[in-house]
Structure 1
């Protein structure tokens, strides 16, 4: 079976007119250009096409490509959806249910907007150190220099300072301390009104229903967008079941549904939970082309939008050429 290219998106917005132009996102114009590139070199398929290929062995067309949009941002309704609808393209959207239902901002998004609000990341690191000095002893946190040595390492799209802040506040600290520090930074640099900010950042249920009515695929991104591999079995079941209750309100049924793992995180226990609930496809953040003849359909890899050209007339990129050579 020919390889499938699955492309992952997060923020897609008019960055120059945004209140947060430094947010790490894709501009609407670049998105339009990238869609032009995809139309020249790929056949864009739908979530239903992929589920059909996995469930019944239907062949996908050569050079098949699937578009996926994580986190349920309002950008996906105001910027992405009109472009896809005009082009007759079906994308896959994965809103975390809690953001829609409870008007809360995900911790990961709070961190993104703090980073976008403080141009000097060295200054922000010092502020994080100050919060560790202030709150850390209460939670028996490690020495701040130990955290720095363990977490500060550059990655594909981030400097070592940015990776340090993300890893520390997303994973390394005790949960109560982590949330205390994230909320303090968010209030200081971004907004003191979380509910209002959430309503500006995420789609509401009516907008998500509109996507569904126009042929877009809606899948699960969990309820609270947590590290699912860090939960016990019962907690994993609760998180998935609550997200599926929300998904049923959108789709009407969950026969052959798709899971997109927050942070790309999963474990064997979670995969067992998903199989028992008839999940057909699971999407990770592992960087590669998907091979439906060999890959576990519950652990398919994806490319980031930054891995592929963002100009319509660009020559075929290496990832594009690989779809022809496998």
Structure 2
């Protein structure tokens, strides 16, 4: 019997245009479906002998508010545990990652409106020919916007453009952070109800190729937040973007550093099953690939 882990991001209505959101009603149905074949457990249980069923860990990336207001409330009502991760940059440094700003602005403004504004602000004439990597986006303007904001413009240009629009909606960065991310008291509430809290990142940057520097910049600050603010010893890690395009090097180079500092496992974005904690990097299925969207049974 092999175990699985399931990866969730946003648990909210489909009108949100970030990483594929899962509606709360569907999330609740998935728990019911998974419970028929798996014992839903916290990651700590993976190192214990198996019972009559294989185990399943529900995992959550990015620490967005909907995970507290929607996913956690459903799980608490159903009496199932989960593994949630913190992103310390917004909570400690008050810096909002660009990828979250993209989600916010593209969810709250029409795509054609954003594209017209980008055209009048920057020279983005080359974007339509280069935006084919987003071929799956049905709206052509959304395809252009995502390529321009994620790849074509500099980080400074993208942040300036997005932050100005986001703050018109939220007023201040503090308001945005308070409304968008799980805060300290909410993490403590989740902890008190048996949820496991782990490290996600500082500022949601993919693996850089320098393991020691990456640990110091992206992992250690978030671990310090868990330790100092939540009184949690950091033992579980989920890398931003699954490590990015250098994930294989990350698996190899970061594992000994994490093990030395007491981490028990890291949750990757590679699909597949797991055999307890026999390996440090654990596979995860994305939630959109689970029933009723597709079977994960053998």
Which TM class, normalised by the smaller chain length? 0.7 to 0.9
Q: How does 1:14-29 map to 2 (within 5 A)?
A: 15=13, 24-29=20-25
1:304 Cα deviation after fit? 1.9
Instruction: State which of 69, 80, 96 in structure 1 corresponds to 2:71.
Output: 80
Structure 2 residue runs without a partner (length 5+): none
Instruction: Check whether the contact 1:111–1:182 (CA below 8 A) recurs between aligned residues.
Output: yes
Aligned to 2:58: 67
Q: How does 1:86-105 map to 2 (within 5 A)?
A: 86-105=77-96
1:38 aligns to 2:37 (yes or no): no
3-state SS of paired residue (1:227): coil
Give a deviation string over 1:210-260, Cα, whole Å, max 9, x none. Answer: 111111000000122222336673243232111111111324323xx1111
1:67 Cα deviation after fit? 0.3
Distance 2:78 2:128 in 1: 47
Instruction: Check whether the contact 1:111–1:186 (CA below 8 A) recurs between aligned residues.
Output: no
Instruction: Check whether the contact 2:201–2:239 (CA below 8 A) recurs between aligned residues.
Output: yes
Distance 2:196 2:148 in 1: 34
Give a deviation string over 1:255-277, Cα, whole Å, max 9, x none. Answer: xx111111111424433432332
TM-score, scaled to structure 1: 0.76
Instruction: State which of 220, 226, 234 in structure 2 corresponds to 1:241.
Output: 220
Distance 1:294 1:28 in 2: 30
Distance 2:223 2:44 in 1: 17
RMSD: 3.1
1:281 Cα deviation after fit? 1.3
Give a deviation string over 1:261-314, Cα, whole Å, max 9, x none. Answer: 11111424433432332322112222x22233898422x23222211235xxx9
3-state SS of paired residue (2:68): helix
Instruction: State which of 146, 171, 176 in structure 1 corresponds to 2:156.
Output: 176
1:71 Cα deviation after fit? 1.4
Aligned to 1:318: 295
TM-score, scaled to structure 2: 0.82
1:163 Cα deviation after fit? 5.3
Instruction: State which of 197, 200, 208 in structure 1 corresponds to 2:179.
Output: 200
1:159 Cα deviation after fit? 6.1
3-state SS of paired residue (1:100): helix
Equivalent residue pairs, number: 290
Distance verdict in 2 for CA 1:197–1:60, change over 3 Å = farther
Aligned to 2:115: 125
1:318 Cα deviation after fit? 2.4
1:309 aligns to 2:291 (yes or no): yes
Aligned to 2:273: 290
Distance verdict in 2 for CA 1:244–1:176, change over 3 Å = same
Instruction: Check whether the contact 1:4–1:63 (CA below 8 A) recurs between aligned residues.
Output: yes
Give a deviation string over 1:160-211, Cα, whole Å, max 9, x none. Answer: 65455445434554433332333244346x4442220110111211110111
Structure 1 residue runs without a partner (length 5+): 134-142
